[in-house]
Amino acid sequence: MSLPDTLPKVDFMVRVRDESIGGDNPFKWVTFTSEDYFKGKKVVLFSLPGAFTPTCSTYQLPGFEKNAEEFKKLGIDEIYCLSVNDSFVMNKWAQAQDLKSVKVIPDGSLKFTNAMNMNVQKDNHGFGQRSWRYAVVANDMKIEQTFVEPGKCENGSVDDDPYGASSPENILKYLKGEEFDKGA
């Protein structure tokens, strides 16, 4: 499984709160670039099949949120969660998960996911195109370590949702210099 050496440069359309708008829907569309998120920072970026899905909502996202201070102590400036969902869904998911530390990135158009070579078809789940589950540690856009779940495939069996290599616990092991699972 080969990921690029650097995080791809793409644009993301993000819905952000703007109190100057007023009314019941004080949000506007803003374009953020990969560089806005990642340049000049050491980050953990993890990508998963979808917001509100069981493994993502029960283990992976809450695990990163719970361990955010530990990641900071080990030199991580930001933790980002990327999913092939639109900004409305990602913002609502962040709210539902009561996120304070992990930042969400919507990749509804798959620009980033395609550039990372992590796009998979999940029609067997009714999802369509999604990201395979993976994580990276990157420093100033350069990928230092990848954590790709094994078995990447199109429309795998209903049970094909491996989780371990991209877990926060495994990435913490890497950052501490302990033995860790590199994944695929």
Contact 63, 71 (CB under 8 A): no
Which phi and psi (to 5°) does residue 82 adopt?
-115, 140
The answer to whether 80 and 115 have CB atoms below 8 angstroms apart is no
Selected catalytic residue, list 45, 51, 56, 76: 56
β-strand pairing of 134-139 with 142-148: antiparallel
Cα 32 to its chain centre, rounded Å, is 15
Active site residue 56: yes
Instruction: Please give the positions annotated as active site.
Output: 56
